[in-house]
Structure 1
Amino acid sequence: MRSHVLATIAVVATSMALVGCATLQRTVEVQSDLDSLTKSGAVGSIATLDDNSTTTVLTSGVPHQTNGDSIGPRYRVRIAGVTKTFTAALVLQLVAQDKVGLDAPVQRYLPGLVPGDTITVRHLLQHRSGLAEFAGEPNADEWVAANENRTLTPADAVAIALSKPAQFEPGSAFRYTNTNYIVLGMLVEAVTGRSYADELRTRILEPLELEDTYLPPPGERDIRGEHMTGYADLPGGRTDVSRIEPSIPWSAGALVSTGKDLNTFWRALLSGRIVPENELTEMTTPHAGATEAEGLGYGLGVGSTELPCGVTYIGHSGGIYGYYTLSGATEDRAYTVTLTSTPKEQPDIVAMLSHALCP
């Protein structure tokens, strides 16, 4: 997983699919953002905007650099860290059902998994547990593992993290790590007695009819159906890295989805259809001192910021081999953008969000 680094994305030819009617200015500005990414060396990019009544899909570049095809409006991508918001939503549903306590020790639900009883469920959701990062280690690299035909269990991932010193005392600081959300996936399974994949499907994917969103099982390394290919600049040159081992990112970053599905998810989340009002307030309230790389204040599985126009954006970002996704919503609009290779110049995230979401 590469959770806060632009990992790959794309461009060369521009295609546009418009459904309904977005303002011309918004469309022009978002298209310009995508084209700038292409000019900066990205292979392809796709942005999906939703304003309640209409959906607009804009693209730049190509889905695969080996041919000149256009990017389709429902092409799937790996959404990486945006998976964490889905996991947080599952946990907060269990909190609302009095099956999990936000301030209860993790030991209550997963005895013996993490040391001591000072790490709470809230600490995991806020990345304040102090648990070290497991991802990226030689035996926990999803692209290398796919090439070597290896999988990784969640327990093994946690064991890798626990083999390193704690980063800080639980609750005393903020440090974004995938380990926190692997433990939360295990917690969902322990409390419900069902697999994380089953809970995700029955609680979120099926009720919202997110037909293009799925969690690949261990060993399923290719993306189903039409999708954008992810690329990385490796020592041997630009390389197709879209084939990865999903058991490594799992509940922290393995979901595959589309802009349309993600926008539907954010609209449902912020309207209270997934997480009840009390828990949603907890979820979307940033913790003091918890700030993501993109400058978003971090709550429970989501980031938030006030855009220059005064509207509040709630969302999450995610980077994994070949893909970087930024996805979220305001009260009136939802926006998802994915790149499939790293541009030479880092994009201005706040400007992109403002162009897509400000009135």
Structure 2
Amino acid sequence: MNSRTHSTRWSSLAAAGALLVAVTVGAAAPALAAGAPPVGTTVGATAASAPATARPGPLDRESLARTLGTLPADITGGLVRVGGPDARWRGTSGEDVPANARFRIGSISKVFTATVVLQLAAEGRVDLDGTVQHYLPGLLPDGYPAVTVRQLLDHTSGLPGGGGLTAGDGSTAWFAAHKADYHSPGQVVADMLTQPMNFAPGTAQQYNGNNYFVAGMVVEKVTGDTFAEQVRKRVTGPLGLHATYVPAADDLTVRGPHASGYVDVPAAGGGTTRVDVTEQSPYPWAEGGMVSSAADLERFFDALFRGRLLPPAQQAEVFAVPDLPNDHNKNCEIGPTAGHACFSAGGMLRTVLPDGTEVWGKTGSRPGYSSGVFATRDLSRTVVIGLNPTGVSGEEFPTLWKLVTTGFGSGQVYGKH
């Protein structure tokens, strides 16, 4: 999904409704086990950092249950998982949402991709300051400015967003008709190159999924292996993330327990028809094609934040946000850091909640599925959310963000969002 399409995930909610809900509430979790590895304390490189509270506020389980239990009519189901030494809560909403549901995580896939690239950097197989032209000669046209691997990871490459091959006209009707279409990374990049550069590399930050198509191609080139196998060998296998995988090109299903995904398509005689899009192409690949579960995402973030996946030098990159202006990216227009870059070389978004709590994480979306995972640096709180929206223009985002802020005890959202 290109940057312009993805940015609509921050749009306003237009309608609300109620769904039948089955909510399960967990008890408070015990403290972290004695002898657990210390959480890393490296500091990101952003000049836009604002004062932030060390720990989130008290968990309001009733507000979480109420929000999850009154989902708008254009969200067919959802789940929430809150973890941390001082809070634990689990909830589901919707008739076909299992507590252990797997779902399409969209752009949360980028954090897995960045982790693999950073591991290769730690092994000396990838130089973050090395160029795409070096690792993938001929991929970019002659005369293109040098684009570094780090600029791919932190969205400062200036590469174009794409010509519409993978998004069509952006409508639910287009996606329903093209849900099984597969586009290889090479085809996506070729489509990207039909458009001009957005800005000179390293001068601004603009969220752009095409950066991660190219990053995945770098992984395959330097390892001689598939991207899917590298994720399995380096991340999901060692961590025991059995519900998390990169689907093969011809694998349209969500394996294991899952909720169905739907989109509402305008009907010829007026109104809408609800179309099942649970089975769809995994073409977003290293940019947004993975499947996971709430428990697996919580475990992945726990390992990543604790430094179990990366040595110190590369661990610092996970939280390093460049000191650059934001360029047409609504993800970076929330809160006190508005106008500045907000994405790190670890593929993650840094944001400060209205009460001052700093959290790191990522949202992701595919038609029928929208999700988010966020955590405080000290892992005192993690929040994972999966929703099943029927639109493709980000109408569900206010609901998702309300669940995020409530999960961190903030209890409020920024007015303009």
TM value normalised by structure 1: 0.87
Give, in angstroms, the shift of residue 265 of structure 1: 0.7
Give, in angstroms, the shift of residue 225 of structure 1: 1.9
Q: What is the aligned partner in structure 2 of residue 62 from structure 1? A: 95
Q: What is the aligned partner in structure 2 of residue 316 from structure 1? A: 362
* 2:111 is aligned with 1:74: no
Tell me, what secondary structure is at the counterpart of 1:33?
A: helix
Q: What is the aligned partner in structure 1 of residue 264 from structure 2? A: 233
Q: What is the aligned partner in structure 2 of residue 283 from structure 1? A: 318
* 2:40 is aligned with 1:3: no
Q: What is the aligned partner in structure 2 of residue 298 from structure 1? A: 343
Give the one of 124, 132, 140 matched to 2:152: 124
Give the one of 14, 17, 33 matched to 2:21: 14
Structure 1: how far apart are the matches of 2:399 and 2:75?
15
Give, in angstroms, the shift of residue 151 of structure 1: 2.5
8 A contact 2:21–2:94 mirrored in 1: yes
* 2:115 is aligned with 1:89: yes
Give, in angstroms, the shift of residue 335 of structure 1: 0.9
8 A contact 2:176–2:263 mirrored in 1: no
Kindly provide the CA deviation profile for residues 66-87 of structure 1, in whole angstroms up to 9, marking residues without a partner as x: xxxxx21111110000000100
Structure 1: how far apart are the matches of 2:228 and 2:396?
37
8 A contact 1:45–1:60 mirrored in 2: yes
Q: What is the aligned partner in structure 2 of residue 204 from structure 1? A: 235
Give the one of 48, 51, 63 matched to 2:81: 48
Structure 1 residues 171 and 24: CA distance shift in structure 2, 3 A: closer
* 2:249 is aligned with 1:218: yes
Q: What is the aligned partner in structure 2 of residue 26 from structure 1? A: 60
For the aligned residue pairs, the C-alpha RMSD in angstroms reads 2.9
8 A contact 1:105–1:120 mirrored in 2: yes
Kindly provide the CA deviation profile for residues 75-109 of structure 1, in whole angstroms up to 9, marking residues without a partner as x: 11100000001001111111111211111111121
Structure 2: how far apart are the matches of 1:12 and 1:24?
27
8 A contact 1:17–1:57 mirrored in 2: yes
Tell me, what secondary structure is at the counterpart of 2:235?
A: helix
8 A contact 2:350–2:360 mirrored in 1: yes
Question: What letter is aligned with 1:324?
Answer: S
Structure 1: how far apart are the matches of 2:59 and 2:207?
36
Structure 1: how far apart are the matches of 2:167 and 2:365?
19
8 A contact 2:163–2:194 mirrored in 1: no
Give the 5 Å matches for 1:35-184: 35-36=69-70, 38-39=71-72, 41-52=74-85, 55-63=88-96, 71-115=97-141, 116=144, 118-134=146-162, 136-137=164-165, 144-147=177-180, 150-184=181-215
Q: What is the aligned partner in structure 1 of residue 224 from structure 2? A: 193
Structure 1: how far apart are the matches of 2:248 and 2:136?
23
Tell me, what secondary structure is at the counterpart of 2:115?
A: helix
Question: What letter is aligned with 1:318?
Answer: G
Structure 1 residues 276 and 110: CA distance shift in structure 2, 3 A: same
Question: What letter is aligned with 2:6?
Answer: S
Structure 2: how far apart are the matches of 1:328 and 1:335?
5
Give, in angstroms, the shift of residue 210 of structure 1: 0.6
In percent, how many aligned pairs have the same letter? 31
Kindly provide the CA deviation profile for residues 262-285 of structure 1, in whole angstroms up to 9, marking residues without a partner as x: 011111111111122222222212
Give, in angstroms, the shift of residue 17 of structure 1: 3.2
Question: Which range moved further: 320-329 or 136-145?
Answer: 136-145
Give, in angstroms, the shift of residue 33 of structure 1: 2.4
Give, in angstroms, the shift of residue 205 of structure 1: 0.1
Give, in angstroms, the shift of residue 337 of structure 1: 0.7
Give the 5 Å matches for 1:329-348: 329-330=375-376, 331=378, 332-341=380-389, 342=391, 346-347=397-398
8 A contact 2:176–2:275 mirrored in 1: no
8 A contact 2:164–2:191 mirrored in 1: no
TM value normalised by structure 2: 0.76
8 A contact 2:117–2:126 mirrored in 1: yes
Tell me, what secondary structure is at the counterpart of 2:60?
A: helix
Tell me, what secondary structure is at the counterpart of 1:206?
A: helix
Give, in angstroms, the shift of residue 351 of structure 1: 4.4
Structure 1: how far apart are the matches of 2:184 and 2:404?
36
Give, in angstroms, the shift of residue 113 of structure 1: 0.9
Give, in angstroms, the shift of residue 354 of structure 1: 2.8
Unpaired runs of at least 5, structure 1:
64-70
Structure 1 residues 257 and 244: CA distance shift in structure 2, 3 A: same
Question: What letter is aligned with 2:63?
Answer: E
Question: Which range moved further: 349-358 or 215-224?
Answer: 349-358
Give, in angstroms, the shift of residue 222 of structure 1: 1.5
Give the one of 373, 383, 397 matched to 1:327: 373
Question: What letter is aligned with 1:339?
Answer: L
Structure 2: how far apart are the matches of 1:142 and 1:338?
20
Tell me, what secondary structure is at the counterpart of 1:95?
A: helix
Question: What letter is aligned with 2:404?
Answer: L
Give, in angstroms, the shift of residue 144 of structure 1: 4.3
Number of positions where the alignment pairs a residue of Structure 1 with one of Structure 2: 348
Question: What letter is aligned with 1:108?
Answer: H
Structure 2: how far apart are the matches of 1:158 and 1:315?
26
Structure 1: how far apart are the matches of 2:20 and 2:162?
38
Tell me, what secondary structure is at the counterpart of 1:202?
A: helix
Structure 1: how far apart are the matches of 2:204 and 2:114?
19
Structure 1: how far apart are the matches of 2:331 and 2:166?
27
Q: What is the aligned partner in structure 1 of residue 279 from structure 2? A: 243
Largest Rg, 1 or 2:
2
Question: What letter is aligned with 1:30?
Answer: L
